[in-house]
């Protein structure tokens, strides 16, 4: 049975779906030298095993470097490649390049704790499933606004987009005739406020 210490709900589900529970686990008892490096190819199987829907597909190389320090360990994550995510404008898939890095401090103690930047693992079982950390590093590298370059959105959406240098057309200038103002508001137009 594999234990998961980072976001147990997410990573336990992930490990069960991947059918390779030890693939993303780092056992800090095995780190005898000062440094260890692992590299993974993260493809569609990695992303489909997660319950997250933002990243649909991807082709990335992720490298994890574990460095032993005087008081614990430092994890350095580096992921490069591309992911496929929905465009914010047209909702069609788009390719987003990724070059992401993250560092996480690991400490050993008598309990588990994760504050986002430092993870404390129990000394009796200092094993960390880094699958969720890899995913978070990649997901946080995606820009807040992710859209196709100009002219590449789906045609049915492109017709409604306005170019940056094109003036925005007022809905009253064109096809729809201007409707008369609501007479209930006409009385308010004559009000003046003296200060």
- Taking the C-alpha atoms of residue 9 and residue 15, their distance in angstroms, rounded to an integer, is 10
**What band does 10 get if pLDDT is binned at 50, 70 and 90?**
very low
Using left for φ > 0, alpha for ψ between -120 and 50, and beta otherwise, residue 162 falls in beta
**pLDDT reported for residue 61:** 94
* In the chain, where the domains are located: 23-140
**pLDDT reported for residue 5:** 38
> Does residue 184 register a pLDDT over 90?
no
**pLDDT reported for residue 16:** 46
> Does residue 152 register a pLDDT over 90?
no
Summarize pLDDT for 79-124 with one digit per residue, the tens: 999 999 998 888 888 999 999 999 988 888 888 888 877 888 877 7
Please work out, in degrees rounded to the nearest 5, the angle formed at the alpha carbon of residue 56 by the alpha carbons of 52 and 57.
Answer: 125
Query: Residues for the chain: how many in total?
Result: 195
- Taking the C-alpha atoms of residue 34 and residue 21, their distance in angstroms, rounded to an integer, is 25
Tell me the mean pLDDT in the region 19-37. 74
**What band does 41 get if pLDDT is binned at 50, 70 and 90?**
very high
**pLDDT reported for residue 109:** 83
């Amino acid at each position: 049975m594999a234990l998961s210490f980072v976001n147990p709900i997410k990573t336990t589900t992930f490990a069960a779906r991947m059918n390779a529970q030890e693939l993303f686990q780092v056992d800090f008892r095995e780190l005898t030298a000062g440094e260890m490096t692992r590299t993974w190819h993260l493809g569609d199987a990695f992303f489909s095993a997660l319950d997250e829907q933002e990243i649909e597909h991807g082709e990335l190389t992720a490298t994890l470097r574990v460095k032993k320090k005087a008081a614990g360990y430092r994890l350095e994550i580096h992921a490069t490649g591309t992911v496929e995510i929905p465009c914010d404008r047209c909702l069609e898939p788009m390719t987003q390049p990724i070059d992401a890095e993250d560092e996480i401090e690991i400490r050993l103690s008598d309990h588990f704790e994760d504050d986002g930047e430092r993870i404390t693992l129990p000394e009796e079982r200092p094993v960390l499933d880094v699958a969720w950390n890899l995913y978070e590093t990649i997901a946080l590298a995606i820009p807040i606004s992710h859209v196709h370059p100009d002219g590449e959105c789906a045609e049915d959406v492109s017709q409604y987009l306005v170019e940056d240098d094109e003036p925005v057309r007022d809905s009253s200038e064109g096809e729809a005739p201007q409707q008369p103002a609501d007479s209930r508001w006409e009385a308010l137009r004559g009000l003046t406020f003296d200060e």
